[in-house]
Structure 1
Amino acid sequence: MTGLVALTGSTGFIGRHLLAALTARGYRVRVLLRRPVEVPPGAASAVVGDLTRPINMAAALADVDAVVHSAGLAHAMSGAPEDDYRTLNTQATARLAEAAERARVRRFVFLSSIRAQTGATAPGVVTEADAPRPTDAYGRSKREAEEALAATGLDWAALRPVLVYGPGAKGNLEALLKLARSPAPLPLGGLRATRSLISLESLSAAVDVLLRAPGPLKAPFIAADPDPLTLAEMIAALRSGLGRGPGLLPVPEALLGLACRLTGRQELFERVAGGLVARADGLVALGWRPAMPTREGLARLASQS
């Protein structure tokens, strides 16, 4: 399938890459914009509208074969009221899905999050077979959006990516890059918990797989590269891309945790010391493969940043 795709969020971190990647794969892309701006390069057309107040989406979705919905309030917007997450992530998704159903769109691909399924850390490997247990407003808003999709008659798929890395990444990845660029040795070599990541390239390949897959899908799909890394391994990969050695000190985890507690950084320690490994069983069954090993992707990101 290389028909007309309506894409939301085309000016965001993930959406910008999706626009370029889908166009390169032969799709015609119509971007749905919140305000009049210059049409992003690669877009076949653009329609201006507010997803929170979609008075008439018929023109925006005319002749559209599939919707890729990547717009929403990001998890990095910490401190946002729960009502904001519900309005921008849940209600806007539900309204767009209803409009897509009226327009007889063939498939709706929703960029959800691993946080719709689990908290910031998880004790075992997370799979789609696990019952969703979101732990914060962001995760709940994404999970409720998935439930709204399931209540329609659309053929839908919800992608639940783990931490996405690539040029322009903010939040945790931006902080990791800053740490990697620092000249000082880092006391992180003793941390053993691993985390799954996914590159922008692997994520766009997952969207392509879902757009092309024979239907019906009507399910969530975890998106994660298969090689989880420790925090030390991530730093080492980034520093290798900068032409430097790892520069990591093997400070025991217990000692590092004590130092963080004494300096009021307990929450930070729990975030960096906890693991979150996820497995993309559903995507793999559809033929998806990651674009590159995670270490290679992180090294390339650092070399290009």
Structure 2
Amino acid sequence: MSHSVFLTGATGFVGGATLKRLVAENCTVVAALRNGSKLLEGNVKTVHVDSFDGATSWKECLGGVDVVIHAAARVHVMNDTEAAPLAAFRKINVEGTLNLARHSVKAGVRRFIFISSIKVNGEGTPAGVAYTPEDIPAPADPYGVSKMEAEQGLRELAAETGMEVVIIRPVLVYGPGVKANFRSMMNWLDKGIPLPFGAIHNNRSLVALDNLVDLIITCISHPAAANQTFLVSDGEDLSTTQLLRKMASALGRPARLLPVPSWVLRGAAALLGRKSLSNRLCGSLQVDISKTRSLLGWLPPVSAEDALKATAQNFQESKKQ
């Protein structure tokens, strides 16, 4: 593979892993960074900008680029302190994305790959029912709304200009270096803290970082990816209880899981004002990746078990540093 790729979000969890894979694939990479940020990856040209919004000028950055991978975003946060969160998300995720896309059109970029979110589909599915790319979007928070609006604008731009757009909606991404709730979960298990999650019979789709990056790389050149929307997961759904047991095993720790019924957990979470957290722990969210498999001939190259082992190993190594 030899492509000239412009990558945003190169210091992030997904963008950083994508950058390493692009370098390994001998792509020529230009990485966009916020002022003050640095890359550890060598042999990569970098450009620094003050912001990723509708006023950013990209015209000096995209010459000779044939593919843009847009992974930068204002990400979902649990307790947003913005007075107008939707406006804050729109500034970066909608205006910033469409501004970059319009500059890409002017520069003659062939394909624009947008890392969106399953939150465009919604927040959860009934057990045994999976989201598909063709479902009517039903975002439930400002972050999901902003990603949906960015997708809509990109499709309109593709129809008007002929630049190919590829949209990828990941579910929860985990892997070496994962932060936030997933890392907290590993901390609890590593310390042997008893957890009340031993009787949760939901189904959650997850995606290993290596699997997501592999799909992104596939979409750089696959002809069938043009102007398509793809969902991505490991292809093997887990309940919260199963995930905790597998993660504990990967960490070499016993899973001390108490069989508290999910309705009790939901009730307690509601009283504590943590309903959204209980929905993620107790509710289902499944995705159907059959379109991704059939249209691209793509299969997740890494099993969930191996990805969890790699995540656990990285977590244990990070504790020694």
Tell me the TM-score normalised to structure 1 length: 0.93
Q: Counterparts of 1:251 and 1:219 in 2: how far apart (Å)?
A: 42
- Which residue identity does 2:149 align to in structure 1? E
3-state SS of 1:220 partner? strand
CA apart distance, 1:266: 4.3
* 8 A Cα contact 1:30 1:43, kept in partner: no
When structure 1 is superposed on structure 2, of 273-282 and 103-112 the one drifting more is: 273-282
Instruction: Determine if the alignment matches structure 1 residue 231 to structure 2 residue 265.
Output: no
Residue 304 of structure 1: how far off its partner (Å): 2.0
Indicate how the Cα distance of structure 1 residues 216 and 289 shifts in structure 2: closer, same or farther if over 3 A, else same: closer
2:125 aligns with one of 122, 125, 139: 122
1:44-66 Cα deviation digits (max 9, x unpaired): 31122233255542220000010
Query: 1:88 matched to which residue of 2?
Result: 92
Match for 1:141 among 143, 146, 166? 146
Return the match for 2:288 from 276, 279, 282. 279
CA RMSD between the two structures: 2.0
Provide the C-alpha distance between the structure 2 equivalents of 1:212 and 1:110, rounded to a whole number of angstroms.
14
Deviations 1:171-203 (A, max 9, x none): 331232223223133221110001111011001
SS at match of 1:188: coil
Aligned counterpart, 2:68: 67
Distance 1:256 1:295 in 2: 27
Partner of 2:47: 47
Secondary structure (helix, strand or coil) at the match of 2:223 reads: coil
Question: Tell me, what secondary structure is at the counterpart of 1:194?
Answer: coil
Question: Is 1:103 paired with 2:107?
Answer: yes
Distance in 2 separating the partners of 1:58 and 1:213: 26
For residue 150 of structure 1, report the CA deviation from its aligned partner.
0.8
Distance 2:225 2:241 in 1: 41
Q: In the alignment, is the contact (CA less than 8 A) between 1:189 and 1:250 conserved in 2?
A: yes
> Which range moves more in the overlay, 267-276 or 154-163?
267-276
Query: How far, CA to CA, are the matches of 1:250 and 1:38 in structure 2?
Result: 46
Equivalent residue letter for 2:147? K
Q: What are the ranges of 5 or more consecutive residues in structure 2 without an aligned counterpart?
A: 316-321
The partner residue of 1:197 within 203, 206, 218 is 206
Change (3 A) 1:108 1:24: same
User: Judging changes above 3 Å, is the alpha-carbon distance between structure 1 residues 30 and 138 closer, same or farther for their aligned structure 2 residues?
Assistant: same
1:164-243 matches, cutoff 5 A: 164-214=173-223, 217-243=226-252
The answer to whether the 8 A contact 1:195-1:230 is kept is yes
Deviation digits for residues 14-59 of structure 1, max 9, x if unmatched?
A: 1111111111122121101221544441453112223325554222
Classify the secondary structure of the residue corresponding to 1:151: helix
Specify the SS of the correspondent of 1:195.
coil
Q: Which amino acid aligns with 2:188?
A: L
Equivalenced residue count is 304
Identity of aligned residues (%): 34
Matched, 1:28 2:31: no
